[in-house]
Amino acid sequence: MKFIDEYRDGEKARQVIEEIHRQAVAPMRLMEVCGTHTVSIARCGLRKVLPETVELISGPGCPVCVTGNRDLDRAIALTGIPDALVATFGDMMRVPGSASTLAMEKASGRDVRVVYSPLDGLKMAEEKPKRKIIFLGVGFETTAPTVAATVLEARKGGVKNFWVFSMHKTVPLALKTLLDLGEIKLDGFLLPGHVSAIIGSHPYEFLAKEYGLACVISGFEPLDILQSILMLVRQGRSRSPRVEIQYRRGVNPEGNLRALQVMRQVFEPSDAEWRGLGIIPGTGLTFRRDLAEFDACGNFELTVPPAQENRACRCGDVLRGLIRPQECPLYAGACAPKNPVGPCMVSSEGSCAAAYKYDS
């Protein structure tokens, strides 16, 4: 398949691996900032073929994983609204909130349905005009434009029974917060391809200019990632940090201007709570005032007790790159895919789920 098979070519991969081994003289600690990268790295065993000088660690790249319990509890509370039908992506169903999950609420009789697109939620609203259809908007800049376009479509069609709970987050300032915490020493970032297809490369320039970090926006196939690592190693050797695009078939420096326009037409920046990172100003997306009628949390009164955290779960430390999943005392014991304690073991893009499936 075009753009797939050629990025899984074993001989080409071997050549890139050999070149990484030749050039990676000085130690480099690199963080991937995308859950899809995390899964691909684990599935293909890429850590095992790299030299000891190159260390890959996972960061806050899974949108489900970085969603805090306060937002999860509000999402769960929305299922209790009379005549409500809550539509959500499947990864959200089993993520533990303070005391429940969406799956548990569904089992108790509340109407929670898995959808593949926000347009599925809008279609439900059109087909069920007497129901309150609430879509849970989770994701980074990748999914926010599609949710925004759905909201504009709902306004155009005069749909009055469709709402969105926006838990969307934006990536660049979260990376700044991670670095400013000073907890971890990094030499470079493997930047997310999907997010960057929307925002382009310019929003990351501060990482190279202010923090002196090598940065490469990578695709998701094994050869994509290996080539991106080689590019990062070469930046490290030349001591010329910059933002490069390996994933040129999907990303240009300016991003997707139409998608950005639609996103900004519906949403504006707000503060957002990130698991492991706390509240980060300007990294959330809330509804603009002229579209507030579609804001679920602004239109329904919710009584939500203060969020409670499981202190034994170390998902926050995993998301900040302080520990690997295997270093959490719950990993593969009390916390496993069949009985997840933290979101990193639930999401298909979670570091713990990837490690359990491919590295255990």
Delineate the domains of the chain, giving CATH numbers in brackets: 69-169+256-299 (3.40.50.11740)
Largest CA distance in the chain: 65
Residue pair 229/205 in contact (Cβ under 8 Å)? The answer is no
Which of 4-8, 312-316, 330-334 shows the lowest per-residue confidence on average (mean pLDDT)? 4-8
102 to 65, 111, 311: CA distances (angstroms): 15, 10, 21
So what's the pLDDT on residue 177? 98
Interatomic CA distance for residues 131 and 140, integer angstroms: 28
Q: Please give the average per-residue pLDDT across 88-113, as a whole number.
A: 96
pLDDT beyond 80 at 339: yes
So what's the pLDDT on residue 11? 84
So what's the pLDDT on residue 10? 76
Residue pair 85/124 in contact (Cβ under 8 Å)? The answer is yes
pTM of the model: 0.94
C-alpha dihedral over 183, 188, 193, 195, to 10 degrees? Answer: 40
Average pLDDT over the chain reads: 95
CA angle 224, 233, 51 (to 5 degrees): 85
So what's the pLDDT on residue 21? 97
Interatomic CA distance for residues 349 and 294, integer angstroms: 29
So what's the pLDDT on residue 359? 83
Q: Please give the average per-residue pLDDT across 124-142, as a whole number.
A: 97
pLDDT beyond 70 at 149: yes
pLDDT beyond 60 at 159: yes
pLDDT beyond 80 at 287: yes
So what's the pLDDT on residue 6? 72
So what's the pLDDT on residue 208? 98
Q: Please give the average per-residue pLDDT across 6-34, as a whole number.
A: 91
So what's the pLDDT on residue 9? 75
Q: Please give the average per-residue pLDDT across 97-109, as a whole number.
A: 97
Q: Which residue has the higher pLDDT, 8 or 65?
A: 65
Interatomic CA distance for residues 228 and 252, integer angstroms: 16
Q: Please give the average per-residue pLDDT across 280-289, as a whole number.
A: 98
Which of 191-195, 280-284, 303-307 shows the lowest per-residue confidence on average (mean pLDDT)? 303-307
Interatomic CA distance for residues 205 and 43, integer angstroms: 30
Please report which confidence band the pLDDT of residue 3 belongs to, taking 50, 70 and 90 as the band edges: low
